[in-house]
Amino acid sequence: MTEIAQWRRLMVAALRTGAPMSDSRHYDTVAFDVRDNATMLFFARTTPDGDIDDYLLLMRTVEDDFDESMYIEINENQFGGHNLIREAALMGNTLTLRLYEPAKELGGISEIVLTFADTPENGTSIERGAFRVLGDTLSGGTA
């Protein structure tokens, strides 16, 4: 099935079910981290006191057999798998994640649009982390 046919199928299904097709989220902080078997991009919206009010974690794991999985966690609600993100595009301070299948965990959306504060620290984290976490799903846009 071509990409356009896949997109059409998802759009028609979303329109029939009344499901939202996109979810937009804004964060003030972006952090990149590497652990033993995972690379992570962490987006957070913080309160004036510095507490985390809302977050999204993108994580790519590599198992001992080099099998990779991608996970998205939003405020302690995690979902993931091998074919989670079809495409990711980074344009300025906006990261768009297009999912292979609508995410039941998020009300059936098929696209997540993240914007983040345009600060030097966030720019460094995105620059260091986007390619490492999203890998070959990152296409289009500019970095």
Per-residue pLDDT reduced to its tens digit, 1-22 = 565 565 456 555 544 555 457 7
- Confidence at 143, pLDDT banded by 50, 70, 90: very low
Give the Å distances, CA to CA, from 87 to 29, 36, 120, 130.
23, 25, 25, 12
What is the side-by-side order of every strand in the sheet holding 22-27? 22-27, 109-116, 94-103, 85-91, 138-142
Residue of 80 and 73 predicted with greater confidence: 73
| Range(s) of the domain holding residue 54 | 3-142
pTM: 0.77
Give the Å distances, CA to CA, from 30 to 43, 109, 126, 130, 134.
5, 23, 7, 11, 15
Q: Where are the alpha helices (DSSP H) in 18-142?
A: 120-134
Phi-psi region of 44 (alpha: psi -120 to 50; beta: other; left: phi over 0): beta
Per-residue pLDDT reduced to its tens digit, 86-135 = 899 999 999 999 988 888 877 888 899 999 999 999 999 998 898 888 88
Per-residue pLDDT reduced to its tens digit, 27-45 = 999 999 998 889 999 999 9
How many separate domains does the chain show?
Answer: 1
